[in-house]
Every structure is written in C-alpha cells, then in structure tokens.
C-alpha cells in the first residue's frame, strides 16, 4: 500500500510537470562556457536565459548577421576602443585581398573612411571631425553628372557660410576656388579665387547676382571681341585709370599692322596723345591730329 502511494505521488508530480512543459516549455536556462564571460583567469562565454550572448573572444560566422528584424524597437551596433583608442570596421573582398575600412581615431577624434590595397594600411579618402559636420576630402572630389540624351547634366555643390571663407593651406603653388553665400543678405553669392596660401585678398571675385567681375591681375582674351554695354539699352564704359600718385596717365595699348606698339592717352586738359612707350607723364608722346 505504501509503495503504491509513493508511485501515485510521483505520477501526479510528473503529470503536473508535463502539463507545465506543454503549456509553456522551458529548455536550458543558462549556459556558461569556460570560466564564463569576464572570468579573470581565461575568460569564457555566457548564454543567458534572455537569449543574450556575452563572450570574451571573437565570433566567426559564415552566414549573415541580422539585427532587429522584429522592428519592435530601435537597434544599434557599438564598437568601443581599447588601449590604443582605435576602432575599425573592415569590408573585405573575396580572399580579403583588398577592401574598405571605416576607422574612428579616438586619439585624433576623427572618423576616417577609406580603402585598402592588399595588406597595406587603409588610405583615408574622407575625414570627419568629431561632433561637427566638417568633412575633409583627401583626394579629388568628382560630382557625378551623367549624359542624358546627349546633354550633360550638371551637379551642384552648395555651401552656406555666414562669413567669408578664411582658407589655410601649406602649399604656396596651389590655386583655390571658394564659394561664398551670405545667408543674411538676399542675393549675395560670390566666387573667390585665391592663389598661394589662400590668405589675404582674392585674385578674382565673381558676384553671381550682378555678374560683376573683379580681378587683381591681367585679363587676356585669345579671340573674339570685347563689348561694353548693350546696343540702345545699356551704356558701355571702358575705364583706364591713372597710375600711382596721378602722374602716370591711363592708356589704351594698340598694335599696328606690323606689330609696333602704341599707347593712346590724354593729358590733364583732355588733349589726346600717342606715345611709342608706356607714358609716365603729360609731356610724353605726340598730339593726335588737330584738336579743339
């Protein structure tokens, strides 16, 4: 009788356990591998009952990795630097011969994006400073306009700056073009051309709304005409200013058919004169024809 009672109790317990399993089955709750994650001796791994996996070693997979497919919440992937304060994400082609790299330099506080040839150190194409929208392109920047039905499309590079650019460079032989748009003034859009180290005055300025051009050097036209104004609409004015101190008159340089150079200018009283050298005073040259 006592033995039958014992078996009866065991049967009730087993039936209750089976009922519980069938209603809400539970499997292996937790698994520790090695010393477990964070073990001071040699590390290890944990697989927790929530499904979380923690490991002190690397994870290698021949398949794909998918995160957040249920879209129940936002997800992220974090990579934290170690003692060298550097983090990398490498994108390799077949056999890992070449590839791309995304690298954050914690020491220099910059994000680097580039490519790698062979086992060489990745060459940075783009650098982005931390906490800012400042981007440095280390090579040529091409805007990918394409041909559509034989007509070239144009891509625009737009910059909004509250003040005029103050460019800096370490090369004295380069030429730089800077675009400036004053966001506080309607219609002010200018293009500045700098040569040398980029500091100081621009050598060429183009004001987009008016079309005015200011150059600190010579303007040479290898062909065609120079027109000032528009017929019956806008008066054309060509100005040749006097030189330093007002002693050197402004002039027009003209070449004769055989290539002889003459300079046409006026004295202070309006007398038109011509000289075979660049005039430096009223007394230079000869009076042209009969005047007054």
Instruction: Give the mean pLDDT of the chain.
Output: 76
Residue with more model confidence, 212 or 249: 249
Question: What are the Cα distances from residue 64, in Å, to 52, 60, 67, 279?
Answer: 18, 11, 10, 81
Quick one: DSSP state of residue 251? E
101-110, 162-171, 274-283: segment of lowest average pLDDT: 162-171
pLDDT in tens, 58-112: 888 888 888 877 777 888 888 888 888 988 888 888 877 888 989 899 888 999 9
Work out the average pLDDT over 1-23: 51
Question: What are the Cα distances from residue 144, in Å, to 134, 135, 152, 202?
Answer: 21, 19, 11, 28
82-86, 152-156, 214-218, 265-269, range with greatest mean pLDDT:
265-269
Q: Longest Cα pair distance anywhere in the chain, in angstroms? A: 153
Are residues 128 and 111 in contact, defined by beta-carbon separation less than 8 angstroms?
A: yes
Are residues 204 and 192 in contact, defined by beta-carbon separation less than 8 angstroms?
A: yes
The helix/strand/coil state of 139 is: coil
């Amino acid at each position: 009788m006592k033995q039958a009672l014992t078996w009866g109790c065991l049967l009730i317990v087993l039936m209750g356990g089976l009922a519980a399993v069938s209603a809400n089955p539970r499997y292996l709750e937790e698994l520790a591998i090695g010393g477990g994650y964070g073990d001071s001796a040699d590390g290890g791994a944990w697989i927790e009952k929530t499904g979380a996996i923690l490991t002190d070693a690397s994870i290698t997979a021949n398949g794909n990795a998918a995160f957040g497919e249920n879209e129940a919440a936002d997800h992220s992937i974090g990579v934290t630097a170690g003692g060298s304060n550097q983090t990398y994400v490498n994108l390799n082609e077949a056999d890992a011969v070449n590839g791309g790299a995304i690298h954050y330099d914690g020491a220099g506080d910059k994000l680097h994006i580039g490519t790698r040839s062979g086992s060489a150190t990745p060459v940075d194409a783009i650098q982005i400073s931390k906490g800012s929208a400042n981007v440095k392109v280390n090579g040529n920047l091409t805007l990918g306009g394409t041909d559509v039905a034989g007509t070239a499309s144009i891509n625009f590079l737009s910059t909004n700056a509250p003040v005029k650019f103050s460019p800096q460079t370490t090369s004295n032989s380069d030429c730089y073009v800077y675009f400036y748009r004053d966001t506080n003034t309607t219609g002010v859009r200018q293009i500045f051309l700098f040569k040398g180290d980029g500091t100081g005055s621009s050598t060429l300025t183009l004001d987009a709304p008016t079309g005015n051009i200011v150059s600190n050097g010579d303007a040479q036209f290898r062909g065609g005409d120079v027109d000032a104004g528009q017929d019956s609409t806008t008066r054309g004015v060509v100005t040749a200013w006097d030189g330093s101190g007002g002693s050197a008159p402004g002039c027009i340089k003209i070449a004769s058919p055989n290539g002889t150079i003459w300079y046409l200018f006026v004295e202070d009283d309006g007398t038109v004169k011509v000289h075979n050298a660049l005039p430096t005073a009223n007394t230079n040259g000869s009076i042209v024809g009969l005047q007054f």
